[in-house]
């Protein structure tokens, strides 16, 4: 490109994303989405084995899923564990993020690093460690056990997302709030929380999903009486070769997608409401 | 116009003043650094007084304000409000309003919700809250924007909202932490007038922190001038300007010509670079430091400029000077001078009509002994 052309064109070239980056981005999106595009058609297959393309259309796999108590129980268990994990991990992660943001010293950085360890340690290492300790504490196969283990690996996600939200939070607002007569607790509820709620909500969603599709720890903690959906899916292909898994997977994909998109939609509407009136 | 005048009269008469006495007794804040941030400061702020804490950055004025507010804990001394020791009372129970440089309005609340916030903390009824909010927004002249969010307002308007929020609950005193620092010059002077008016109407104690000496002079009943964690001098703006006790005070407020004297004998005349100057005993600072090293300070508007020594009246103190530059300021001219053998920098203010000075002219600068001030170095 000659330099006069570039000078003349400068006002047009406001798009800061070069074409090659868009191509890479497109490939990455395809890489993540393509499997889904195979799973969802397969869930409507009339075949009794895994076949692609599906030989014909049928609701049979969904019928299997919704009439088989094993599938339904595992789905219910997963929802229960994921919900409790989301609540517990969000509470702990938010509390940690808020207090760490007020301390800026070596101790705070150390605590932050320690809290992030579950994200970088291999799942199998965590799983074995959890399994051995929980055996001794009689927590394997219990809701408490699942929730505690999943909370440990979900807290870092909450910590990161709430810390991000706190980055834009002006701590001086808390001084103002105190000078106006609000106790530290009231200030947190009425000033801090509303302003970091996005980060907290995002953290909660991540915690829910981390728990919802966690399989390694769940495999170790399972008992004949209590297992989560990912474990049941694992069983269905390794033990029974049951194509119902494609219906289950499709349901999970749709559920998780809705959970992710819902806050975006709500936020969009709330944002429009805050626009100045003419 | 008439209303303004009546308010001024009631505001300045001591009898009608409400407000809280704020008493600092040996207040110290030591972070464990080389020197304490606030070092043994004692100051009594009278009920209803507009006290300005003035000083360069790092002088301890803001730390002192934060100590009064309760955001910092004392490492020594006590702070009392109307005689009650509040040293260990947390900020939200001190009942002091505060104004911040960045306004610190809650961005997720509307103007009305922001102003109602302190009233809701005090469990006030809905109707009373609505009435008080409307009242105070009228006082700061910001009506009709109740449902707007703060980000939609200009800086000046935001600070008005913050001011309304800080006074609506009738706090014992209002603490202002450089509240006009982020505003441009015109807006700043408009809000200064506003703050003075509100101080008169509300009648409560105001403690105002600033590093801007003009702002301090313009606003304050009294100024406490801070330097290195200590109070250098407390007094009315006029006292600080006309009767500085120390060299720091003389230099910080307004322009000065400063002649350092070294170890001077204050019995009769003093000498500076071979000049022999008369001393008026009334102009010697009462500061104990004056017995040691001292300096003579003369304001640029108090010196006269003559062509030669024969044009100077008898009894005046004189110094040789050379004109280095002439600044035309509209209503007056400022001559920038080098004075004496070593070329000490100085200023003289002359009438705008005196256009007959040129750069390089040798002149004689003179003043009467009662126009000068002898201060502690």
Q: How big is the A-B interface in CB pairs under 8 Å?
A: 64
Say if residues A244 and A63 touch (Cβ distance below 8 Å): no
**Residue A178 shares a structural domain with residue A52:** no
**Residue A199 shares a structural domain with residue A133:** yes
CA pair distance B170, B202, nearest whole angstrom: 9
**Residue A128 shares a structural domain with residue A220:** yes
For chain B, list residues whose CB is within 8 angstroms of any CB belonging to chain A.
69-71, 90-93, 95-98, 100, 102, 104-108, 117-118, 121-122, 148-149, 152, 162, 165-166, 169, 175
Q: What mean pLDDT is predicted for residues B225-241? A: 93
Interface check A173 vs B, CB under 8 A: yes
Nearest-CA distance A163 → chain B (Å): 19
Partners of residue B110 in chain A, C-beta under 8 Å: none
Q: Is residue A3 part of a domain?
A: no
Nearest-CA distance A225 → chain B (Å): 48
CA pair distance B161, B140, nearest whole angstrom: 8
Partners of residue B92 in chain A, C-beta under 8 Å: 177-184
Reported residue count of chain B is 377
Tokens of B228: 């290195």
Partners of residue A172 in chain B, C-beta under 8 Å: 100, 102, 104
Q: Is residue A141 part of a domain?
A: yes
Interface check A175 vs B, CB under 8 A: yes
Contact A191 B106 (CB under 8 A): yes
Which is higher by pLDDT, B279 or B16? B279
Please write down the long-range contacts of B308-317, taking CB distance under 8 Å and 24 or more positions apart.
B308/B364, B309/B364, B311/B364, B312/B364, B312/B366, B313/B366, B315/B278, B315/B368, B315/B369, B316/B366, B316/B367, B316/B368, B316/B369, B317/B275, B317/B277, B317/B278, B317/B366, B317/B367, B317/B368, B317/B369, B317/B372
**Residue A114 shares a structural domain with residue A234:** yes
Using 50, 70 and 90 to split pLDDT, how confident is the model at B264?
low
Contact A180 B108 (CB under 8 A): no
**Residue A93 shares a structural domain with residue A165:** yes
What's the pLDDT at A181? 92
**Residue A48 shares a structural domain with residue A94:** no
Q: Is residue A176 part of a domain?
A: yes
Nearest-CA distance B321 → chain A (Å): 52
Nearest-CA distance B233 → chain A (Å): 29
Using 50, 70 and 90 to split pLDDT, how confident is the model at A86?
very high
What's the pLDDT at A278? 35
What's the pLDDT at B265? 61
Nearest-CA distance A170 → chain B (Å): 8
Question: Does residue B9 have a pLDDT over 70?
Answer: no
Q: What is the DSSP string of B259-274?
A: EEEEE---SS-EEETT
What's the pLDDT at B285? 79
Using 50, 70 and 90 to split pLDDT, how confident is the model at A254?
confident
Residue of B nearest to A174 (CA): B104
Interface check A95 vs B, CB under 8 A: no
Partners of residue A275 in chain B, C-beta under 8 Å: none
Contact A178 B97 (CB under 8 A): no
Q: How far is CA A6 from CA A11, A19, A20, A21, in A?
A: 10, 17, 19, 20
Partners of residue B169 in chain A, C-beta under 8 Å: 180-181
Domain that holds residue A259: 36-67+243-268+274-278
**Residue A257 shares a structural domain with residue A177:** no
Question: Does residue A84 have a pLDDT over 50?
Answer: yes
Interface check A189 vs B, CB under 8 A: no
The DSSP symbol for B132 reads H
Q: Is residue A104 part of a domain?
A: yes
Q: Is residue A16 part of a domain?
A: no
Question: Does residue A271 have a pLDDT over 60?
Answer: no
The DSSP symbol for B47 reads T
Cα B245 vs. chain centroid, distance in angstroms? 16
Which SS3 state, helix, strand or coil, does residue B170 take?
A: coil
Mind listing the pLDDT tens digit for each residue in A227-249?
898 898 888 888 877 788 888 88
Contact B104 A181 (CB under 8 A): no
Interface check A178 vs B, CB under 8 A: yes
Q: What is the pTM of this model?
A: 0.78
Determine the Cα angle at A79 with ends A74 and A82, to 5°.
120
Best of A180, A271, A277 to substitute, by most chain B Cβ atoms within 10 angstroms, is A180
Question: Does residue A187 have a pLDDT over 90?
Answer: yes
What's the pLDDT at B8? 37
Residue B32, CA atoms < 13 Å, CB-side half-sphere: 0
Mind listing the pLDDT tens digit for each residue in B154-176?
888 999 999 999 999 999 999 99
> Looking at residue A223, which CATH number applies to its domain?
1.10.3720.10
**Residue A56 shares a structural domain with residue A142:** no
CA pair distance B217, B54, nearest whole angstrom: 10
Interface check A180 vs B, CB under 8 A: yes
Contact B91 A179 (CB under 8 A): yes
Partners of residue B93 in chain A, C-beta under 8 Å: 181
Q: Is residue A17 part of a domain?
A: no
What's the pLDDT at A11? 52
Best of B62, B70, B93, B100 to substitute, by most chain A Cβ atoms within 10 angstroms, is B100
For the ranges A13-17, A197-201, B261-265, the maximum mean pLDDT occurs at A197-201
**Residue A99 shares a structural domain with residue A190:** yes
Residue of A nearest to B66 (CA): A175
ipTM confidence: 0.78
Best of A177, A179, A182, A198 to substitute, by most chain B Cβ atoms within 10 angstroms, is A179
What's the pLDDT at A109? 87
Beta strands in B152-218 (DSSP E): 173-177, 205-210
Mind listing the pLDDT tens digit for each residue in B21-56?
999 999 999 988 888 899 999 999 999 999 999 999
Using 50, 70 and 90 to split pLDDT, how confident is the model at A156?
very high
Mind listing the pLDDT tens digit for each residue in B116-144?
999 999 999 999 999 999 999 998 888 88
* Residue that has been written with the tokens 């219906």 in this structure: A247
**Residue A153 shares a structural domain with residue A58:** no
Best of A181, A199, A278 to substitute, by most chain B Cβ atoms within 10 angstroms, is A181
What's the pLDDT at A14? 62
Q: Across chain B, what does the average pLDDT equal?
A: 86
Number of domains in chain A: 2
What's the pLDDT at A53? 79
Nearest-CA distance B126 → chain A (Å): 18
Which residue from A170, A175, A180 is facing B117, i.e. has the nearest CB?
A180
Q: What mean pLDDT is predicted for residues B272-300? A: 78
What's the pLDDT at A6? 46
**Residue A46 shares a structural domain with residue A129:** no
Nearest-CA distance B166 → chain A (Å): 7
- Cβ atoms within 10 Å, residue A93: 28
Question: Does residue A64 have a pLDDT over 90?
Answer: no
Question: Does residue B151 have a pLDDT over 80?
Answer: yes
Domains of chain B with CATH codes? 2-239 (3.40.50.300), 243-376 (2.40.50.140)
Question: Does residue A149 have a pLDDT over 90?
Answer: yes
Question: Does residue B227 have a pLDDT over 50?
Answer: yes
Cα A44 vs. chain centroid, distance in angstroms? 27
Q: What mean pLDDT is predicted for residues B225-244? A: 92
Q: Is residue A103 part of a domain?
A: yes
Q: Across chain A, what does the average pLDDT equal?
A: 85
Contact A175 B118 (CB under 8 A): no
What's the pLDDT at A188? 93
**Residue A207 shares a structural domain with residue A117:** yes
Partners of residue A176 in chain B, C-beta under 8 Å: 98, 100, 104-106, 162
Contact B165 A180 (CB under 8 A): yes
What's the pLDDT at B6? 36
Contact B102 A172 (CB under 8 A): yes
Q: Is residue A31 part of a domain?
A: no
Which residue from B91, B100, B152 is facing A172, i.e. has the nearest CB?
B100
């Amino acid at each position: 490109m000659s330099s006069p052309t570039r000078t003349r064109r400068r006002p047009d070239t406001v798009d800061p994303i070069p074409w090659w980056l868009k191509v890479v981005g497109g490939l990455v999106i395809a890489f993540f989405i393509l499997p889904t595009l195979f799973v969802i058609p397969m869930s409507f297959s009339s075949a009794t084995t895994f076949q692609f393309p599906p030989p014909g259309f049928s609701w049979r796999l969904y019928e299997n899923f919704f009439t088989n108590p094993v599938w339904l129980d595992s789905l219910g268990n997963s929802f229960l564990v994921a919900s409790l994990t989301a609540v517990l991990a969000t509470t702990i992660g938010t509390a940690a993020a808020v207090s760490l943001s007020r301390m800026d010293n070596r101790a705070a950085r150390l605590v932050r690093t320690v809290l992030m360890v579950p994200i970088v340690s291999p799942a199998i290492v965590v799983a074995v460690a959890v399994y051995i300790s929980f055996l001794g504490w009689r927590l394997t196969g219990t809701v408490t056990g699942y929730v505690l283990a999943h909370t440990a690996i979900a807290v870092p996600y909450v910590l990161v997302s709430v810390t991000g939200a706190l980055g834009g939070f002006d701590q001086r607002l808390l001084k103002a709030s105190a000078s106006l007569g609000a106790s530290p607790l009231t200030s947190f509820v009425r000033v801090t929380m509303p302003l970091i709620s996005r980060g907290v909500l995002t953290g909660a969603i991540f915690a829910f999903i981390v728990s919802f599709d966690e399989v390694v720890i769940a495999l170790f903690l399972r008992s004949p009486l209590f297992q989560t959906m990912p474990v049941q899916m694992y069983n269905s292909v390794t033990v029974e070769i049951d194509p119902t898994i494609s219906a289950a997977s499709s349901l999970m994909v749709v559920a998780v997608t809705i959970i992710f998109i819902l806050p975006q939609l709500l936020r969009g509407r709330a944002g429009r409401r805050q626009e100045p009136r003419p | 116009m008439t209303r303004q005048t009546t308010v001024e009269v009631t505001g300045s008469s001591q009898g009608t003043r409400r407000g809280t006495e704020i008493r600092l007794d040996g207040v110290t804040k030591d972070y464990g650094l080389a020197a304490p941030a606030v070092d043994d400061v004692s100051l009594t702020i009278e009920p209803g007084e507009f006290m300005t804490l003035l000083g360069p950055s790092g002088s301890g004025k803001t730390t002192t304000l934060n100590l009064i507010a309760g955001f910092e804990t004392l490492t020594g001394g006590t702070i009392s409000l109307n005689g009650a020791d509040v040293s260990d009372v947390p900020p939200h129970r001190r009942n002091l309003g505060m104004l911040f440089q960045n306004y610190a309005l809650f961005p997720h609340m509307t103007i009305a919700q922001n102003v109602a916030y302190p009233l809701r903390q005090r469990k006030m009824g809905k109707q009373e809250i609505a009435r008080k909010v409307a009242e105070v927004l009228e006082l700061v002249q910001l009506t009709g924007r109740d449902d707007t969010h703060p980000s939609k307002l200009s800086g000046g308007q935001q600070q008005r909202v913050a001011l309304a929020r800080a006074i609506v609950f009738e706090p014992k005193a209002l603490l202002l932490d450089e509240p006009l620092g982020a505003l441009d010059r015109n807006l700043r002077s408009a809000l200064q007038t506003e703050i003075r008016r509100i101080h008169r109407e509300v009648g409560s104690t105001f403690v105002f922190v600033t590093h801007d000496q003009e702002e301090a002079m313009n606003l304050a009943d009294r100024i406490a001038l801070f330097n290195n964690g200590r109070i250098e001098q407390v007094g009315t703006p006029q006292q600080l300007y006309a009767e500085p006790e120390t060299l720091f005070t003389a230099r910080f407020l307004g322009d000065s010509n400063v002649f350092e004297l070294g170890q001077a004998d204050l019995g009769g005349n003093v000498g500076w670079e071979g000049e022999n100057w008369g001393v008026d005993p009334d102009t010697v600072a009462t500061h104990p430091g004056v017995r040691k090293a001292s300096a003579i300070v003369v304001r640029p508007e108090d010196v006269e400029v003559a062509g030669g020594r024969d044009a100077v009246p008898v009894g005046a103190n004189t110094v040789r000077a050379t004109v280095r530059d002439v600044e035309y300021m509209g209503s007056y001219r400022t001559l920038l001078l080098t004075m004496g053998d070593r070329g000490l920098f100085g200023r003289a203010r002359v009438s705008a009509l005196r256009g007959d000075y040129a750069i390089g002219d040798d002149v004689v600068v003179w003043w009467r002994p009662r126009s000068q001030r002898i201060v502690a170095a």
